[in-house]
Amino acid sequence: MSRQPHVLVIPYPAQGHVAPLMKLATKIAERAIKVTVVNTQFIHKKIIASLQEKAEDSSSQIKLVTIPDGLELQAADREDPLKLGESVARAMRGCLRDLIEKINQSNDCEPIRCVIADVTVGSALEVAESMGIARAAVVPFGPGSLALSLQFPKLLEAGIIDPNGFAILNDGLISLSDEIPAWKRNEYTWSFPDEPSEQKILLGIICAVIQAVKISNWIINNSVYELDSPACDLIPNILPIGPLLASNHSGDLDGNFWSEDSSCLSWLDEQAIRSVVYVAFGSVAVLSQQQFAELALGLESLQKPFLWVIRQDFMNGSRAKFPDGFIERVSNRGKIVEWAPQEKVLGHSSVACFISHCGWNSTMEGLSMGVPFLCWPYFSDQYQNRNYICEAWKIGLQFFADENGIITRQEIQRKVLTLLKNDDIRSNSLKLKEVARKSLLGGGSSFRNFESFISDIKMLISGCDSTL
């Protein structure tokens, strides 16, 4: 039997988590390590369907297996991150041990030596711990957001946060250090549900993240040390190995839930250099009909080419309704798709700026391609990611809503035009692109961190590390 190490990679079942963990799985598999990725059956079907004609590579080092998420009958519950989180935790406790034992008993591969799970699937790491298997927690969001979660008990103890999760200082600011942007009132990672009872569940998830970090041997993060050393320094043993980009790796297993519409790439080829406004809000954010129409009219008023991703579920259940005559009026300069090959779009020379909800993956991808941002955060960590983009890194501007909570067409027009004229932001974007690129090259911080992780995994097989 070969002595090839074998690891299990377990994403949380949401697009912004599956995609970076699939990229990580590919990066690991490229180092001659056998990887089995465990997705829920529901997510597995989506990934396979999205591959379309890109056939699954049978020679791949990556094997895809599934477990049930426990929500077969209540499909709507999958839209609720709190219910989904609870159910996935139950499913992991119920099935993971059996799955690992089955793999370990089979003769066609090596036993599992390490479980590499999303930090929000702490139950998988607990199962691994109970089986004496090494554990790596993967943090697909920024180190600042993780640092805030880890400091939560201290903030409670110091009376800065009350037990219900609200900051009790007058200005509502939570600050971890002078160098980390402060969290503003209503913009903490746990404050997005309106219901206090749901906020409590979210605080429970934060406690589970703290526990997952505690029991893990490595904390792998999709970030770059030099981009946020103050937050990284607050997290013992963090290994920033980002940016995780599909473009740096082989294979088609990018973990997309929807098929990419590549027609936008040939459309981009026809546009002038740095002329296109790219608009995409990740996989979860939704807009109201009023806000959607205002965005459409804002894009129209720019008189510039734009590429706009409108997911089928972008309007919270209803079909997107464009303003009258909009499609005809912008037909010579607007391209609309349901899902784009985002990394390729951001890397295209025609793209001038990125109107983004500031999900961490989009943030890392735009930064890595040197594209300036217009920030439109929707919930959770996205406010803090915006703070990094606008305050710490100075590679973007933020939209402000009016007194009715609407980002108006005038605000959109004004900010996009201001951004495109701002040479400082552009030059900062290019500098940070270089920082991100260099971190992955030989000797760079992410390169070294990843190498050290791989060498640790390879040591596991020779039994050299008995401390796990």
Ligand X SMILES: O=c1ccn([C@@H]2O[C@H](COP(=O)(O)OP(=O)(O)O[C@H]3O[C@H](CO)[C@@H](O)[C@H](O)[C@H]3O)[C@@H](O)[C@H]2O)c(=O)[nH]1
C-alpha 385/C-alpha 387 separation (Å) is: 5
86 scored as a contact of ligand X (CB under 6 A): no
Would you count residue 119 as binding ligand X (CB under 6 A)? no
11 makes contact with ligand X (CB under 6 A) = no
Site for ligand X contains 13 (CB under 6 A): no
Question: What is the rounded distance in angstroms from the CA atom of residue 291 to the CA atom of residue 419?
Answer: 21
Least Cβ distance, residue 98 to ligand X (angstroms): 28
Please check whether residue 137 is in contact with residue 216, taking contact to mean a CB–CB distance below 8 angstroms.
yes
361 binds ligand X (CB under 6 A): yes
CB of 93 to ligand X, least distance (A): 22
Residue 118 in the binding site for ligand X (CB under 6 A)? no
CB 261 within 8 A of CB 338: yes
Q: Which is nearer to ligand X, 180 or 454 (CB)?
A: 180
| DSSP state at residue 249 | S
Interaction between residue 342 and ligand X (CB under 6 A): yes
Q: Is 16 in the site for ligand X (CB under 6 A)?
A: yes
In terms of Cα–Cα distance, which of 21, 44, 246 is closest to 139?
21
CA distance 33 to 36: 10
Residue 206 found at the interface with ligand X (CB under 6 A): no
x/- contact string, 394-433, with ligand X (CB under 6 A)? ----------------------------------------
Distance of CA 253 to the CA centre of its chain: 16
Cross-strand bridge partners of residue 118: 138
Q: Which stretch binds ligand X (CB under 6 A): 44-52, 97-105, 168-176, 378-386?
A: 378-386
Minimum Å distance from CB 3 to ligand X?
A: 34
**Which segments of 15-61 are extended strands (E)?**
34-40
Any contact of residue 360 with ligand X (CB under 6 A)? yes
Q: Which of 8, 10, 19, 128 binds ligand X (CB under 6 A)?
A: 19
State the maximum Cα–Cα separation within the chain, in Å, rounded to a whole number: 68
Q: Which is nearer to ligand X, 33 or 309 (CB)?
A: 309
Tokens coding 55: 């056939």
State both tokens at 194: 């309106």
Going edge to edge, which strands form the sheet with 373-375? 334-337, 306-309, 276-280, 351-356, 373-375, 396-398
Residue of 5, 13, 15, 375 interacting with ligand X (CB under 6 A): 15
Q: Is 221 among the residues that bind ligand X (CB under 6 A)?
A: no
**Pairing outcome for strands 114-118 and 6-10:** parallel
Q: Least distance to ligand X from the beta carbon of 410, Å?
A: 26
The residue (of 69 and 343) whose beta carbon lies closer to ligand X is: 343
Amino acid making up residue 254: D
Under the binding rule (CB under 6 A), the answer on residue 282 touching ligand X is yes
> Minimum CB separation from ligand X for residue 143, in Å?
12
- What is the size of the binding site for ligand X (CB under 6 A)? 24
Closest CB to ligand X among residues 61, 385 = 385
Tell me which stretch binds ligand X (CB under 6 A): 52-60, 154-162, 354-362, 366-374: 354-362
Q: By CB under 6 A, tell whether 359 contacts ligand X.
A: yes
Bridge partners (DSSP) listed for residue 161? 167
Stretch that binds ligand X, among 48-56, 172-180, 379-387, 413-421 (CB under 6 A): 379-387
Is residue 339 part of the contact set for ligand X (CB under 6 A)? yes
Phi, psi values for residue 36, rounded to 5°: -110, 125
Q: Does 365 bind ligand X (CB under 6 A)?
A: yes
- The CA distance from 419 to 315, in Å, is 27
- Bridge pairing between strands 114-118 and 62-67: unpaired
User: What are the C-alpha distances in Å from 295 to residues 298, 306, 401, 464?
Assistant: 5, 12, 12, 57
Q: How far apart, in whole angstroms, are the C-alpha atoms of residue 175 and residue 166? A: 14
Query: What is the binding site for ligand X (CB under 6 A)?
Result: 15-17, 19, 140-141, 256, 280, 282-284, 309, 339-340, 342-343, 359-362, 365, 380-382
